[in-house]
Amino acid sequence: MLTMETDLKKLVDQYGVMISSISHRMIRNKDLAKEAAQEAWYEIFKSLHSFKGNSELSTWIYTIAKRTILRYSKDEKVWTMMELKDFRALPDIEYLGDEENKKEWIKEQCDCCLTALSHCLNNDARLIFIFRETIGLSYKQISEIMEMKEDNIRQISSRSLRKISSFMNDTCPLYNPEGTCKCRICKQVLSINLDKEYSSVRKMVRLVNLFQKFEKELPRKNYWEKFLNQLVTN
């Protein structure tokens, strides 16, 4: 059994960033993503007393997060590959800030692009992709969270990875500098040799390394902190 004051901080330290990452990747609107992450924590805190240890704690937490974030993301647009190509064909995005902050700005734009790209998947497939490739959960655990057969999880995960990797290979200068490079910030990326910084990622081949690198370098805001403090003090 979990106790409130001693364990809330521990749970948030262990799972907070990951829940924010899930919400961030599932929902393009930042304010709505923040609201979804906070609501997920509200549901987790409210249900702490009901956790009896019949599953792994992480499975229980991610199952609640899944239900909450899927509810918030139900109206997210699923992009066709043609729509993604049209988006990439829009005019280049220009950087108007100072040189000192240019690299971080470019990384943030690339991160937004990764989120947009994952929207070529429907909500369930995108969530499975995040659980597997960003969080690194096993197929078995994802099947428990998603309440789907493990074979189905494997198939969906494999198809999703192939779909996103194929598009990235043709258009992203970070993933493949020899590709057609239709990215809207391609000129900005190449201007600071950001592709060289990510050369080790390409050697690892898997798209997962690119997603995980951005998760580490652009830590999610602590969406839950203010909310947690209110719970503990009330």
Phi-psi region of 188 (alpha: psi -120 to 50; beta: other; left: phi over 0): alpha
- Which one-letter amino acid corresponds to residue 76? E
**Mean pLDDT of the 21-38 span:** 92
Q: How confident is the model at residue 193 (pLDDT cuts 50, 70, 90)?
A: low
8 A C-beta contact, residue 27 and residue 72: yes
List, for residues 84-111, the tens digit of each pLDDT value. 878 777 788 888 888 888 888 888 888 8
Q: Which of 215, 221, 222, 223 is nearest to 107 (CA)?
A: 215
Closest CA to 24 of 132, 134, 120: 134
Whether the Cβ atoms of residue 102 and residue 65 lie closer than 8 Å to each other = no
Enumerate helices (H) and strands (E) in the chain, giving the number of each.
13, 0
Half-sphere exposure of 194 (CA within 13 A, CB side): 24
Give the percent of the chain with pLDDT over 90: 32
Model confidence band, residue 129 (pLDDT cutoffs 50, 70, 90)? very high
What is the Cα–Cα distance from 209 to 213, expressed in whole angstroms?
Answer: 6
Query: Of 16, 2, 14, nearest to 51 (Cα)?
Result: 2
Let me know the angle formed at the C-alpha of 88 by 87 and 90, rounded to the nearest 5 degrees: 70
Closest CA to 206 of 161, 155, 167, 154: 161
pLDDT interval class at 174 (50, 70, 90): confident
pLDDT band at 147 (very low <50, low <70, confident <90, very high): very high
Average pLDDT of the residues in 49-65: 89
Q: What is the pTM of this model?
A: 0.81
Task: Determine the pLDDT at residue 217.
Answer: 66
